[in-house]
């Protein structure tokens, strides 16, 4: 787990760019505080900050490798992530091609695989990664990002060349040097306020984009990058009205348990101490229980709040006791959130309006005092059907029989109902097709609400600009599978994985996600709808995963509903955070983008109740702080030097 930065110049003047690259690399020091280095030839400068996890004393980067032993001048790699099957791939490369390796790490394995298998090598990698390989013979750069988008990579191309980085801050630091314009992208802001994140491949800066998940890029000096998708996830579409036999179900559930156990085993590969995050739900508990099989001294970590209904601390502690692990708890208070939020947003690069990232930042800081790597349960909901919203096609089934001519009438009736009235949103959603109503797992501002607060609101910009390609690719699947597919490309990589990476790497902590493994996905994607969402008033989510975890996790967790790390901002914005929120609005220099008075009114209406505007207010506040940091330069967070004495 590390941070990379590179520039492929258009004018063969890379030697003149080394110092600016080295300077820009410093703002990503938290991603790799153990060592840093730069390397260049006449076309290319590479910079790297390393967090040493595997082959700690060797595998320094930028790393050079050549197919002829002793001649390592052809390929150079910078690599952020981990390849969990690197030992198996290494053995195969040695047996098949007599490949030679000078280190015991996974970086050389990637380069050798690329040399012998070409771009198809990325499909053989079982892990999380964002890397760049320079081929000095072909004079070509090859960039790749893992199938699910666990590790980030930003990209900017100007007349100077193509720059790429793990942190957008590094590219912003090079803006003057490379001619990167700092204009904001209005559509990205509108999408952010709708979805609570900026969807890939956009960033809020118009000239900086992101390499998409499951994509590789080739680029030569002075040429435009060529993007190619190598991973196109596919869920089978079997509503399965007739339940499978008990014997068939048992086989499937056993396969899930086996592949998850194997994934956790491989994710435990490290030359440093590995811990685990633990909430009160099935996902993290399963990961922690399986990790305990490999590390009897496993430490787990959880976070919560001193407010009833907004903490899973007690359940997590009960789970930790049942599993038999040492457990560490970090409680977060509202004044800590307010004080730390500017620094947290600085680490984010682009705003993400998910309040859960704040407690994650605190528990990551706590965990880094004990371990260097943690396992976590991200991805289980998207793969196995864990979100309650996935029940919606069942609840809206009666509306499928309503004639299309009546649905506009239903929408108009919904608009006339007061905000907060029971049934208002059900009526509205029942009048819409899946493509119209499902944005992915979050929806913050509706169009009519956006029109009131976003000064540059453009009715031509729609969430369907983001989701339409994914609906098209899944047009003949069942509705639950289509929702999962959309979430893989939107919610998962735009929110869940961004906050997981940014909040842990802020503390130089590597986070690994065993559910987001190609072999786990292969089994999860083959499940029929009946193995994900069950019918009836007692219907459940993640049915197959829950059954597979019987005997692995404590019974008190097995059928608990999902909670995660909920944050009581609805209450705090009415009380402890009210004056703080008003101050942000009053001091913001983003009034040309956001109608700050309209948000003031929203904040006051929220305080008076009963309407809950908390998520919309939070989304605006996060953007305003981001704008104050990255555009106005008025807010300057005190970024700590990454030093981590570990309590073992």
* Residue ranges of the binding site for L-glutamine: 106
Question: Which residue is listed with tokens 């702080």?
Answer: 625
Residue list for the binding site for ATP: 376-377
Query: CA angle at residue 267 from 128 to 132, to 5 degrees?
Result: 25
Catalytic residue among 1, 2, 54, 93: 2
Q: Is 148 in a helix, a strand, or coil?
A: coil
Q: What is the DSSP letter of 243?
A: P
How many other CB atoms sit within 10 Å of the CB of residue 558?
16
Question: Which residue is listed with tokens 């030093």?
Answer: 643
Give the HSE-up count for residue 631: Cα atoms under 13 Å, Cβ half-sphere.
20
Q: Are strands 161-165 and 2-9 parallel, antiparallel or unpaired?
A: antiparallel
The burial class, CB within 10 Å (0-12 / 13-18 / 19+), for 136 is middle
How many other CB atoms sit within 10 Å of the CB of residue 435?
16
Give the HSE-up count for residue 624: Cα atoms under 13 Å, Cβ half-sphere.
25
Q: What is the DSSP letter of 440?
A: S
Strand partners, 157: 162
The answer to whether the bond into 640 is cis (omega within 30° of 0) is no
CA distance 91 to 387: 40
How many other CB atoms sit within 10 Å of the CB of residue 598?
16
Q: Is 282 in a helix, a strand, or coil?
A: helix
Phi, psi dihedral angles at 309 (to 5 degrees)? 90, -5
Phi, psi dihedral angles at 61 (to 5 degrees)? -125, 155
Closest residue by Cα to residue 609 from 419, 432, 423, 442: 419
- Diameter over CA atoms, the chain: 76
Q: Is 27 a catalytic residue?
A: no
Q: How many residues comprise the chain?
A: 648
Q: Which two tokens stand for residue 88?
A: 């198996």
Contact 456/184 with Cβ under 8 angstroms? no
Side-by-side strand order, sheet with 127-135: 63-65, 75-83, 127-135, 140-145, 215-219, 226-229
Q: Which two tokens stand for residue 107?
A: 């970086």
Q: Which two tokens stand for residue 476?
A: 């003949």
Residue list for the binding site: 106, 376-377
CA distance 290 to 288: 5
Q: Is 636 in a helix, a strand, or coil?
A: coil
Cβ neighbors of 397 (< 8 A, separation 6 or more) are: none
Question: Which residue is listed with tokens 């047009």?
Answer: 475
Q: Are strands 510-512 and 373-375 parallel, antiparallel or unpaired?
A: parallel
User: SS3 string of 364-396?
Assistant: HHHHCCCCCEEECCCCHHHHHCCCHHHHHHHHC
Residues belonging to the active site: 2
């Amino acid at each position: 787990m590390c941070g990379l930065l590179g520039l492929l110049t258009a004018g063969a003047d890379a030697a003149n760019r080394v110092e600016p690259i080295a300077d820009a690399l410093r703002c990503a020091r938290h991603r790799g505080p153990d060592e840093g280095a730069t390397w260049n030839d006449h076309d290319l400068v590479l910079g790297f900050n390393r967090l040493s996890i595997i082959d700690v004393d060797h595998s320094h980067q930028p790393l050079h490798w050549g197919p002829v032993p002793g001649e390592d001048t052809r390929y150079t790699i910078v690599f952020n992530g981990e390849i969990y099957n690197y030992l198996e791939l290494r053995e195969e490369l040695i047996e098949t091609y007599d490949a030679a390796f000078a280190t015991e790490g996974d970086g050389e394995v990637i380069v050798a695989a690329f040399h012998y298998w070409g771009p198809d090598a990325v499909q053989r990698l079982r892990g999380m990664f964002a890397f760049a390989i320079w081929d000095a013979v072909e004079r070509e750069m090859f960039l790749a990002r893992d199938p699910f988008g666990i590790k980030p990579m930003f990209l900017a191309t100007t007349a100077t060349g193509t720059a790429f980085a793990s942190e957008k801050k590094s590219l912003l630091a090079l803006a003057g040097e490379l001619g990167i314009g700092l204009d904001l992208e209005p559509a990205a802001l509108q999408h952010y306020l709708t979805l609570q994140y900026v969807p890939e491949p956009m960033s809020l800066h118009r000239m900086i984009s992101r390499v998409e998940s499951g994509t590789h890029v080739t680029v030569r000096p002075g040429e435009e990058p060529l993007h190619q998708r190598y991973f196109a996830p596919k869920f089978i579409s079997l509503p399965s009205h007739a339940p499978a036999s008990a014997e068939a179900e048992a086989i499937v559930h056993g396969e899930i348990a086996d592949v998850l156990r194997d994934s956790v085993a491989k994710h435990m590969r490290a030359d440093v101490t590995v811990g685990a995050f633990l909430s009160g739900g099935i996902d993290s508990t399963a990961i922690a229980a399986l990790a305990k099989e490999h590390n009897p001294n496993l430490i787990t970590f959880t976070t919560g709040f001193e407010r009833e209904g907004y903490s899973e601390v007690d359940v997590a502690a009960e789970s930790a006791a049942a599993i038999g692990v040492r457990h560490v708890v970090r409680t977060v208070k509202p004044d800590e959130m307010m004080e730390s939020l500017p620094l947290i947003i600085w680490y984010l690069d682009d705003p993400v309006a998910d309040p859960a990232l704040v407690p994650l930042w605190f528990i990551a800081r706590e965990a880094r005092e004990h371990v260097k790597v943690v396992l976590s349960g991200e991805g289980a909901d998207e793969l196995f059907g864990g979100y309650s919203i996935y029940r919606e096609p069942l609840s809206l089934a009666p509306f499928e029989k309503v004639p299309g001519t009546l649905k506009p009438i239903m929408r108009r009736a919904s608009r006339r109902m007061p905000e907060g009235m029971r049934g208002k949103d059900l009526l509205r959603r029942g009048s819409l097709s899946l493509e119209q109503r499902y944005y992915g797992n979050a929806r913050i501002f509706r169009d009519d609400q956006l029109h009131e607060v976003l000064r540059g609101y453009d009715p031509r910009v729609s969430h369907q600009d983001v989701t339409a390609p994914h609906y098209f690719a899944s047009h003949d699947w069942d509705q639950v599978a289509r929702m999962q597919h959309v979430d893989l490309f939107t919610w998962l990589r735009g929110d869940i994985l961004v906050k997981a990476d940014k909040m842990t790497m802020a503390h130089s902590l590597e986070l690994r996600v065993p559910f987001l493994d190609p072999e786990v996905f292969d089994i999860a994607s083959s499940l029929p709808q009946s193995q994900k969402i069950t019918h009836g008033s007692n219907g459940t989510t993640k049915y197959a995963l829950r059954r597979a975890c019987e005997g692995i996790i404590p019974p008190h967790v097995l059928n608990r509903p999902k909670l995660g790390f909920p944050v009581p901002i609805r209450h705090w914005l009415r009380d402890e955070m009210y004056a703080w929120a008003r101050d942000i609005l009053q001091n913001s220099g983003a009034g040309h983008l956001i109608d700050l008075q309209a948000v003031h009114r929203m904040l006051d209406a929220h305080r008076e109740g009963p309407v809950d505007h908390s998520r919309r207010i939070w989304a605006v506040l996060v953007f305003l702080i981001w704008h104050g940091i990255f555009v106005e330069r008025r807010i300057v967070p005190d970024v700590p030097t990454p030093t981590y004495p570990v309590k073992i």
